[in-house]
Chain A
Amino acid sequence: MSSEEKQLTLNLKVWRQKDGKDKGQMVDYTLEGVSTDSSFLEMMDQLNEKLVVENQDPVAFDHDCREGICGMCSLMINGQAHGPESETTTCQLHMRKFNDGDTVVIEPWRARAFPVVKDLMVDRSAFDEIIMAGGYVNVNTGNAQDANEILVPKEDADLAMDAAACIGCAACVASCKNASAMLFVSAKISQLALLPQGKLESDKRAQAMVEKMDELGFGNCTNEAECEASCPKGIDISNIARMNREYFKSAVVSKS
């Protein structure tokens, strides 16, 4: 407990939906005694403890590592994906960013490709399908190779690492006014397109992944960069330009 810790009373507006078929609605809760030292998800836990004591159904929300690296947490907080802080996941957002008496609106990600499972949980398996379509490399099993056998220029390694920082949380889709998944798909294409290991399948990869993305019903990019601004890992839209190049190349040269 820090010396500057305060207790907040918050007016929460939370999306409640029994299951995928239910229409759902916003429900108001007042939560007292929220420590400014607690994280946003701890505040949600506190709400759920209160609901359980009151014999009500707790609010379902996704979470796992709570360290900002797993990509499981989501939540649209006051109209922004992962809340108001830049490059921060919901689990790393702290209640000191809020004031006593604030109204906090909490909603699930909204996209046709991400149906609501319950309350604030959405089914993000559309992302897995895109990865399965081409976001991988084929490698022979056996002994590990020598570390420096395949040389990679430092600049390429850095860019590939920047793209690989994507945790697949889908804040890009949630914040995009078109529910486009292009930042996610482009990051996954880029991390492989920039490295020699990814070259083997490069004539098919972009095509397969982009077409799967289209098939799943994500929207189109209008280059507004809200995805980049909302990405907790700071993935930038130069990856989308790379994906556009890769797709064009892949569509022209692919033999299949």
Chain B
Amino acid sequence: MFERFLKVLTSSVIKKQLMGLTGLLLCGFLLTHLIGNFLIFVSPEAFNTYAYKLTSTPLIYVAEAVLMGIFLLHLGLAMVLTIENKKARPVGYYMKQPTGRGSTFASSTMPITGIVIGIFIVLHIIHFKFGAHYSVTYGDVEMRDLYRLIIEEFQNKAFAFGYIVSMAFIGVHISHGFWSAFQSLGFNHPKYTTVLRCLSTIYAITIFGGFSSLPIYCFLQGVQ
């Protein structure tokens, strides 16, 4: 029974479906993360209070653990699948040309964009989650002044530029990954798949544009 379960779980189809499912969950996380971050545009108080409320509930540890689990599963599966794919063709072609009717820049660079995103996430957590701890008091409540940290970090032009470039990598990754996840999960429809592919591009542009607006805004805030 367990052996059967393990065989199913390690089959190419289920591995791809888990890859798609974790990818979609991460896409969902990115959108909520972006919406939360937009509070930076409202006011320092709105943003700091949001961050404070989010981190002051014990549920945050559960949420962080789940998110970490999803991310590690996505990363682990990506590594396993890529190694298997390389092994499937031990002798390469002398000449190989794409047909021009199938693969795209985004689809053929998924492992590369994925690695860059992985490195970005580690740096991102070090810089912001474990970055300098400033305090601010609104009313009677003392909380972390995350807003100040972000404004300060983005005064560094190279850092801000690196952030935007990383967002471009995420955008490219999502533009293929989003619709691809639906295909792996078994959803392909003569009408809706075309819509889904458009949606994939729109989602990628939204994530790239949305997150890129933050360093630009923060940089300009510091200049004033």
Contact = CB atoms under 8 A, between A and B. Distances in A.
A255 B109 CA distance: 40
A240 B92 CA distance: 25
Interface of B: 7-8, 11-17, 81, 84-85, 87-104, 107-108, 110, 176, 179-180, 183-190, 193
A86 interface: yes
Nearest to A227: B102
Contacts of B16: 220-221, 244
A213 interface: yes
A62 B150 CA distance: 64
Contacts of A245: 186
A76 B180 CA distance: 27
A78 B97 contact: yes
Interface in A86-109: 86, 105, 107
A113 B95 contact: no
Contact of A222 (B98, B110, B186): B110
A251 B4 CA distance: 9
A113 to B, nearest CB: 7
A26 B94 contact: yes
Contact of B108 (A26, A86, A224, A237): A224
A247 interface: yes
A49 interface: no
A111 B88 contact: yes
B99 A112 contact: no
Residue among A107, A113, A243 with the highest chain B CB neighbour number at 10 A: A107
Given A228-B102, A241-B186, A247-B14, 12 more contacts: A13-B94, A110-B91, A180-B12, A180-B88, A211-B11, A214-B12, A219-B84, A224-B103, A224-B108, A230-B99, A245-B186, A251-B8
B89 A111 contact: yes
A82 to B, nearest CB: 10
B103 A79 contact: no
Interface in A225-256: 225-230, 237-238, 240-245, 247-248, 251
Contacts, number: 141
Given A219-B88, A220-B81, A224-B108, A15 B94 contact: yes
Contacts of A160: none
Contact of A230 (B85, B88, B102, B184): B102
A235 B72 CA distance: 35
Interface in A163-209: 175, 177-180, 182, 207
A219 B81 CA distance: 8
12 contacts: A76-B96, A111-B88, A175-B99, A175-B102, A178-B88, A214-B11, A217-B87, A217-B88, A220-B15, A226-B99, A244-B183, A247-B14
A248 B186 contact: yes
A225 B11 CA distance: 20
A224 B13 contact: no
Contacts of B94: 13, 15, 26, 105, 107
A223 interface: yes
Contact of A238 (B92, B102, B185, B188): B188
Contacts of B92: 110
A237 B101 CA distance: 13
A165 B104 CA distance: 26
Contact of B93 (A107, A178, A230): A107
A226 B101 CA distance: 7
A22 B8 CA distance: 37
Residue among A26, A112, A251 with the highest chain B CB neighbour number at 10 A: A251
Nearest to B90: A112
Contacts of B13: 210, 243-244, 247-248
Residue among B12, B91, B103, B189 with the highest chain A CB neighbour number at 10 A: B12
A9 interface: no
A153 to B, nearest CB: 16
B93 A79 contact: yes
A241 B188 contact: yes
Given A210-B12, A244-B16, A248-B13, A86 B103 contact: no
Contacts of B108: 177, 224
B84 A226 contact: no
A233 to B, nearest CB: 15
A223 B88 contact: no
A79 B92 CA distance: 11
A132 B93 CA distance: 30
B170 to A, nearest CB: 18
